[in-house]
Homo-oligomer: A and B are copies of this chain.
Amino acid sequence: MARKSTAFVTVDFDKPGKQSGFIHIPHSPHDDAWGTTRIPVAVIKNGEGPTAILQGGNHGDEYEGPIVLGEMVRELDPGAVQGRVILLPAINVAAVEAGRRTSPVDGLNMNRTYPGDPGGTITQQTSAFVNDVIYPIGDAFLDLHSGGSSLDILPSAIIEPAADPDHHKRNAAAVLAFGAPLTVVVDNLGERRTSTAASVAAGLTTVGTEMGGGGTVSLEALKICRRGARNVLAHLGILEASPNQPAAADRPVLTIPGPPGYVFASANGVFEGFHPLGTEVRAGQEAGRVHHLGDPSRPPEILHYAADGILYGRRQPGRVVSGNCCLVIAAPYEGQLP
């Protein structure tokens, strides 16, 4: 009641078959008094079975998820589905249309707005709608991220940790089923405002990804993502198992070792990293340098790694300001797995 929304939807989540429509969030800015933000949604329902929610476009500059989910909207045969698939290929649609991580409407990073606010800004209203209306009708949630404009990341599937050990194992099993070359446990330093944290809080089996990045569309990441989304649906029993499912056991599971896993810029300038993604590095080793291009007689500042591990992410834009994340290290995960 405190959380009553004015949003409305043009699909019926309970109707069998395939429907493609929109969630309308009423929005009343200067240039559109009585219009809406129009978020694409599709439902594919057939027979009995679990409900999987597949989401892309949480960040508007991470393209593999929206492309793959758009293909599913157009191509997935309802007859092949056992249960229900809810597709949200461009959940933060204003950010997607702008190709920006954050919404150009309210400046917010949707993945820092959960559980949202139905009386808040558009992004807060959207996350409130997902939290209050979509999660309660789902069993599993797949949130497809990529590195975005600022990071290039080794394509990987992501385990959002759950406090309950059984829930954690359930998540891990689904993530491993995705079949990415790499699996990483990411808790975002304990951040609770993400969609996957909210999905875990709502009890759903939760799967994340980080695919390529650099603000571009990666051919390789698209392939992994296409296959992985279907693998997860097969794992849940909604689709038939695909024959090309790789063996989970062969792929490493890593985690980011807290603050020391990140190398931050210590000055404004241009960052030159010394190693390609995937390199094994050690704490204390030189990681890169920040150049002062406007005054070349001033020597660049050297940055160092603060943890052992492999180079998992790397800043894309050369230009940095102090505090920017330049490099990310991942180390072996010691926690429980299914």
Contact = CB atoms under 8 A, between A and B. Distances in A.
Interface string A267-286: 11011111110000000000
A178 interface: no
Interface in A41-74: 42, 57, 59, 61, 63, 66-67, 69-70, 73-74
Nearest to A66: B293
Contact of A318 (B20, B106, B217, B322): B217
Given A293-B90, A293-B97, A37 B214 contact: no
Given A33-B147, A215-B316, A259-B24, A66 B328 contact: no
A93 B293 CA distance: 8
A324 B293 contact: no
Interface stretch (A130-138, A158-166, A183-191, A245-253): A183-191
Contacts of A31: 101, 149-150, 317, 324
Interface in A184-236: 188-193, 214-217, 219, 222
Contacts of A28: 101, 109, 111-112
B151 A8 contact: no
- Stoichiometry (number of copies): 6
Interface in A116-168: 119, 147-152
A100 interface: yes
Contacts of A305: none
Q: Specify which of A4, A87, A119 lies most central, judged by the most chain B CB atoms within 10 Å of its CB.
A: A119
B215 A317 contact: yes
A291 interface: yes
A27 interface: yes
Q: Specify which of A20, A266, A293 lies most central, judged by the most chain B CB atoms within 10 Å of its CB.
A: A293
Contact of A27 (B151, B265, B323): B323
Contact of A33 (B101, B191, B272, B297): B101
A57 to B, nearest CB: 7
A4 B99 contact: no
Contacts of A24: 259, 264, 323
A151 B119 CA distance: 24
Contact of A295 (B40, B219, B222): B40
A83 interface: no
Contact of A70 (B89, B191, B293): B293
A332 interface: no
A5 to B, nearest CB: 9
Contacts of A299: 74
A296 interface: yes
A271 B217 contact: yes
A328 B26 CA distance: 14
Given A36-B325, A61-B318, A219-B275, 7 more contacts: A29-B102, A32-B150, A35-B323, A57-B293, A73-B296, A99-B270, A119-B192
17 contacts: A6-B191, A28-B112, A30-B101, A30-B150, A31-B149, A33-B149, A33-B150, A35-B324, A35-B325, A36-B264, A38-B323, A66-B270, A89-B293, A93-B294, A97-B294, A149-B317, A215-B215
Of all A-B residue pairs in the complex, the 7 with the closest CB atoms, nearest first, are: A99-B319, A70-B296, A38-B323, A35-B325, A34-B325, A30-B101, A73-B296
